[in-house]
């Protein structure tokens, strides 16, 4: 029912054979930059909305433009993370 693990290493190193073939996900600079871009989009757009509602009246065109900019930056972050 269960297959025996064959390992060319000595018996004490069987754990190394079990972990050796696992795919390792490397965190690259692109992935880190993509995550940071997405984090900034998810933090600063709501802060800008709250700031504009409570403290300062932005012109009406600022919110849709900032939303489009945020969508573009978030998409760029997703592309960097997926590569």
What pLDDT, in 10s, does the model give residues 42-61? 999 989 888 888 888 778 88
Q: Which two tokens stand for residue 30?
A: 């692109």
- Indicate whether 17 belongs to any domain: no
Domain tally, the chain:
1
Read off the pTM: 0.63
Compute the distance between CA of residue 42 and CA of residue 74 in angstroms, rounded to an integer.
Answer: 8
The model's confidence at residue 16, banded by pLDDT at 50, 70 and 90, is low
- Indicate whether 19 belongs to any domain: no
- Indicate whether 39 belongs to any domain: yes
Q: What is the DSSP letter of 34?
A: H
The model's confidence at residue 67, banded by pLDDT at 50, 70 and 90, is very high
19 has a pLDDT exceeding 60: no
CA distances from 3 to 6, 9, 10, 17 (A): 9, 17, 18, 14
- For 61, the domain range is 27-82
CA distances from 9 to 4, 18, 20, 23 (A): 14, 11, 11, 20
What stretch of H or E contains 41? helix 29-54
């Amino acid at each position: 029912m269960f297959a025996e693990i064959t390992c060319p290493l000595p018996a004490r190193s069987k754990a190394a054979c079990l972990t050796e073939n696992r795919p390792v996900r490397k965190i690259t600079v692109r992935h880190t930059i993509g995550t940071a871009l997405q984090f900034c989009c998810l933090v600063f757009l709501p802060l800008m909305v709250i700031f504009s509602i409570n403290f300062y009246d932005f012109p009406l065109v600022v919110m849709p433009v900032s939303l489009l900019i945020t969508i573009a930056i978030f998409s760029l972050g997703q592309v960097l993370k997926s590569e």
